[in-house]
Chains A and B, each alone.
Chain A
Amino acid sequence: MQIEGKNLSFRYGPKLPWVLKDVSLTVKEGERVGLVGPSGYGKSTLVRILAGYLKPEEGQVLLDGKPLPAKGVCPVQLIYQHPENAINPRWKMKKVLQESGMFREDIMGALGIEKDWLQRYPRELSGGELQRFCVARSLFPGTHFLFADEMSTMLDVITQAQIWDLMLKEVEARNLGLLMVTHNMELAKKICTRTINLEKMNHEMKI
């Protein structure tokens, strides 16, 4: 399997400058790709387009030659930088996992999710603990690609290492494709098989 962005162009309004212009990239299964570049160059915009959250103005996103499925669970999953904004604040954590169909002992064990946390609300957990739930629910059986948009920048380095350790084990065991946005070159060196520099690829300069 592979996901391909073909000549993607995007801007946040018809009169605003292009954020992305004519950007193409491919991520294959089993690959771990780092997306780097200065801030404000459209890294987050690009992964949101690839995951199907934004529609490109030009170009298309193809999963094995076909557009992303409009219905059902998406084989491409995005993990955000701020877990506290990605989880329903009025649900207990057990319900969060149940909704995604990932309320499974083996996953919770692998991700170090403690039983006690399931009865808590999101505000009663730290960012690192919440991020584990976000990883857990993105790992349902139909997932083939994981996109991580600065998934660990808000976490302390121990929690960061813990979460990446778990992610990499899953990515390896299931031969998933990984695309991560990061500013930390040391982290990219440790995790990625190759890196893409958006500054060099993007044809248009921005504000």
Chain B
Amino acid sequence: MKRQPVLSVEDLSVSFRMYDTGLEQADLQVISNLTLDVCPGEIVAIAGSSGSGKSLLAHAVMGLLPGNASVTGKILYKGMLLSQKEKEKLRGKEIALVPQSVSYLDPLMTVGAQVTGRTPDEKTLKAQKEIFQRFHLKEGTEKLYPFQLSGGMARRILVSTAVLSNAQIILADEPTPGLDLEMAVEALKIFRELADEGKSVLLITHDIDLAFHIADRVAVFYAGTTVEIADAEDFQKGPKALRHPYSKALWEALPQNGFKPIPGFQPYAKDLPKGCLFSPRCPYKTEECEKEIPMTKVRGGYVRCIHAD
């Protein structure tokens, strides 16, 4: 059965207008031709390189990009094309963000009020108490201000905020750093429960070993585009089940899987290579790789590599 995606991103490109030398301006393309969707009841994990545009995607969906950004491509919510105005109307109600930085908390407001809103009803207060308990946040934590919290506590507050928002889609941008394993797993379990209730979760994370186990699908980002989208199961199985050389390299760099780094760096947005963005680091590079590489279907997943089989 083909389900209707609740959020779909089609051919999204984001670039920033920046000053180059003197008064000359140049466009810096940070996301190129990105396509992704998420269905009701589904968790899609986004893994990938630091600085590959994972957070920018979340910000583009929320309509939080700064003024010098230009966006092309489509972002659809329940099949409806979203304009900036509609994004502003939906955000916080239908689409909620767990921001990456703990500095997104209002420093002058108690964290309790930030989670429940200023005039919460009984039900919200009860829900807040429940989730704080699950996160091992002692009673009285809701009366504290952000500066009185440790990094991990602030992180749990941010997750609570999104959970209580009752939104259809949760964009969780790195919800687990600073949390010990037990708390990280608890946070992911909460996302899983929300998904099982029919909500959708986009989970941006570097804790990919945890994400592989709770997500339904995984999208791998590199240099501003998706290189592979596949079932999470394939990522649990390992390199043989994976399709793109970068996904395989990610798997093999995990401490428990050998801790082997591949050499080289993700290219800087100013001088992207032609064709395949991964080709400068790829052992299988051929001349063909310098042409435009489309996403193709291989073994039930999607991959942006002409050598995948």
Residues of A at the B interface (CB closer than 8 Å) are 12, 36-40, 44, 81, 112, 114, 116, 124, 126-129, 150, 153-162, 164-165, 183-187, 189-190, 207
B250–A40 CB distance below 8 A: no
A sample of 7 more A-B contacts (CB under 8 A), given A81-B151, A158-B253, A162-B261, is A39-B152, A39-B153, A114-B265, A128-B51, A154-B50, A161-B261, A186-B209
How far, in Å, is B270 (CB) from chain A's closest CB? 8
B174–A154 CB distance below 8 A: yes
Q: Within 8 Å CB of A40, what residues of B?
A: 149-150, 152-153
Q: Within 8 Å CB of B260, what residues of A?
A: 161
- The answer to whether the Cβ of B291 comes within 8 Å of any Cβ in the partner chain is no
- The answer to whether the Cβ of B166 comes within 8 Å of any Cβ in the partner chain is no
The 7 closest A-B pairs by CB, nearest first: A39-B152, A126-B51, A161-B261, A186-B255, A162-B261, A40-B150, A161-B253
- The answer to whether the Cβ of B68 comes within 8 Å of any Cβ in the partner chain is no
A39-B179 contact, Cβ under 8 Å, with A156-B206, A160-B253: yes
Selecting from B91-99, B121-129, B181-189, the interface stretch reads: B181-189
Which residue of chain A has the shortest Cβ distance to B141 in the bound complex?
A207
Per-residue CB contact flags for chain B residues 150-184 toward chain A (1 = under 8 Å, else 0) read 11110100000000000000000010011111111
A39–B178 CB distance below 8 A: yes
Q: How far is the CA of A162 from the CA of B262 in the complex (A)?
A: 8
Q: How far is the CA of A161 from the CA of B261 in the complex (A)?
A: 5
- The answer to whether the Cβ of B118 comes within 8 Å of any Cβ in the partner chain is no
- The answer to whether the Cβ of B104 comes within 8 Å of any Cβ in the partner chain is no
Grouping DSSP codes into helix (H, G, I), strand (E, B) and loop, the B interface class, with mixed when no group exceeds half, is: loop
- The answer to whether the Cβ of B26 comes within 8 Å of any Cβ in the partner chain is no
Per-residue CB contact flags for chain B residues 48-76 toward chain A (1 = under 8 Å, else 0) read 11111000000000000000000000000
- The number of residue pairs between A and B whose CB atoms lie closer than 8 Å in the complex comes to 104
How far, in Å, is A50 (CB) from chain B's closest CB? 17
Q: How far is the CA of A127 from the CA of B54 in the complex (A)?
A: 13
How far, in Å, is B232 (CB) from chain A's closest CB? 16
B180–A154 CB distance below 8 A: no
B265–A129 CB distance below 8 A: yes
A39–B254 CB distance below 8 A: no
Instruction: Determine which of B50, B259, B263 lies in contact with A155 in the assembled complex, contact meaning CB atoms within 8 Å.
Output: B50
Instruction: Determine which of A81, A157, A207 lies in contact with B254 in the assembled complex, contact meaning CB atoms within 8 Å.
Output: A157
B183–A39 CB distance below 8 A: yes
Q: How far is the CA of A3 from the CA of B261 in the complex (A)?
A: 32
Q: Within 8 Å CB of A165, what residues of B?
A: 261
- The answer to whether the Cβ of B308 comes within 8 Å of any Cβ in the partner chain is no
How far, in Å, is A17 (CB) from chain B's closest CB? 11
- The answer to whether the Cβ of B138 comes within 8 Å of any Cβ in the partner chain is yes
